[in-house]
């Protein structure tokens, strides 16, 4: 399915050097902010207080979040669980306050707004849990990267595998750089979005690389640069349809999903935009600079006895 067809090949690789310099600068800034400002980790990673509060009637989660926020909790997480009358509140660690003191302070504020509020549970999530989640997240990311390299090395060629992994890490680091620069909360939902972007970006790279391999077979007189330009140009319509429809869903979550899905959708939005860019310009350009050529993807058929180039052709026994 195509909305339009571009008949003239766009010379994308002509601007590859400039675009990749911009990518390198953006990547370096992201690393700088990650190193100097760090990620603003959520309760799941740092530890904190988890409260369960019940009401006699349906409760407005937004009002509960606003009430708790007035106590100085900028990053409080409030969501329904079970029924619309029950809410779960996650509070970050506060210096000089125990979990019990935090719970008492919050309940006092909630009862002032609605006297029917009842505390059903109050527990402290220790830093050991946060450390375990961080370790598991890093392991998951490493396994995804290794799996991508193995898959692409078998399907295409090691140069494409290396180019794709570098482009995908470029996307991941830039997403994390945005969260470090603006100090947006980094939660498990955001980690899930980052892993989803990895798979999404790989899919786009595979589509372009598959078209490059097809072009090598179809257009034998084209140079490598012309082949890559033609492959990117011929997949533009598909890219617009796929990423445009996906972005509509993500933007719906961003604007209407509430605070729970806000940063999840934001990470996906950044990742989708940079995923398109990196697949077309970063991954393809790196593969080009690594010297990918027709012979890497299309193996010459073995020569048989009697072929004109066979030195033994026509010899008598």
Give tens-digit pLDDT for 112-140.
Answer: 999 999 999 998 877 656 677 778 877 87
Tell whether 99 and 164 lie within a shared domain. no
Q: Are 179 and 39 in contact (CB under 8 A)?
A: yes
Q: What is this structure's pTM?
A: 0.79
pLDDT value at residue 312:
45
Distance CA 40, CA 303 (A): 62
* 6 located within any domain: no
Give the pLDDT band of residue 94 (cuts 50, 70, 90). Answer: confident
Give tens-digit pLDDT for 147-164.
Answer: 877 887 787 778 888 888
Distance CA 195, CA 188 (A): 11
pLDDT value at residue 313:
43
* 241 located within any domain: yes
* 310 located within any domain: no
Tell whether 228 and 111 lie within a shared domain. no
Number of domains into which the chain is organized: 2
Q: Are 227 and 284 in contact (CB under 8 A)?
A: no
- Alpha carbon separation from 58 to 91, 120, 121 (Å, rounded): 22, 16, 18
Tell whether 152 and 253 lie within a shared domain. yes
* 4 located within any domain: no
Q: Which domain holds residue 74?
A: 48-125
Asked if residue 80 has pLDDT above 90, the reply is no
CATH of residue 245's domain is 1.20.1640.10
The residues that bridge with 88 in the sheet, in sequence order, are: 52, 79
Tell whether 121 and 162 lie within a shared domain. no
Q: Which has the higher per-residue pLDDT, 72 or 67?
A: 67
* 245 located within any domain: yes
CATH of residue 73's domain is 3.30.70.3400
Tell whether 66 and 33 lie within a shared domain. no
The arithmetic mean of pLDDT across residues 194-218, rounded, is 87
Tell whether 24 and 97 lie within a shared domain. no
Q: Among 24-28, 70-74, 170-174, which is the least confidently predicted range?
A: 70-74
Q: Which has the higher per-residue pLDDT, 132 or 249?
A: 249
């Amino acid at each position: 399915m195509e909305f339009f067809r571009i008949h003239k090949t766009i010379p994308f690789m002509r601007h590859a050097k400039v675009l990749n310099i911009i990518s390198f600068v953006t990547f370096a800034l992201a690393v700088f902010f990650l190193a100097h400002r760090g990620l603003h980790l959520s309760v799941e990673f740092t530890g904190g207080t988890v409260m369960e509060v019940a009401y006699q009637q349906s409760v407005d989660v937004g009002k509960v979040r606003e009430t708790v926020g007035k106590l100085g909790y900028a990053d409080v997480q409030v969501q329904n669980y079970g029924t619309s009358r029950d809410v779960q509140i996650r509070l970050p660690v506060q210096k000089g306050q125990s979990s019990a003191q935090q719970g008492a302070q919050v309940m006092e504020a909630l009862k002032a707004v609605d006297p029917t509020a009842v505390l059903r549970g109050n527990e402290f999530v220790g830093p050991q849990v946060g450390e375990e989640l961080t370790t598991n997240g890093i392991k998951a990311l490493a396994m995804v990267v290794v799996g991508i390299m193995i898959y692409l090395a078998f399907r295409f060629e090691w140069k494409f595998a290396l180019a794709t992994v570098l482009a995908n890490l470029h996307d991941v680091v830039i997403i994390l750089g945005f969260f470090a620069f603006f100090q947006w909360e980094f939660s498990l939902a955001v980690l899930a979005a980052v892993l989803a972007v990895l798979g999404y970006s790989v899919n786009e790279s595979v589509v372009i690389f598959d078209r490059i391999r097809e072009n090598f077979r179809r257009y034998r007189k084209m140079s490598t640069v012309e082949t890559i330009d033609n492959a990117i140009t011929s997949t533009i319509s598909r890219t617009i349809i796929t990423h445009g429809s996906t972005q509509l869903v993500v933007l719906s979550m961003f604007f209407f999903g509430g605070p729970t899905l806000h940063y999840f959708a934001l990470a996906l939005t950044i990742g989708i935009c940079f995923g398109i860019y990196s697949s077309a310009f970063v991954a393809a350009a790196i593969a080009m600079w690594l010297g990918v050529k027709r012979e890497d993807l299309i193996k010459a058929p073995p020569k048989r006895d009697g072929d004109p180039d066979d030195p033994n052709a026509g010899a008598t026994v």
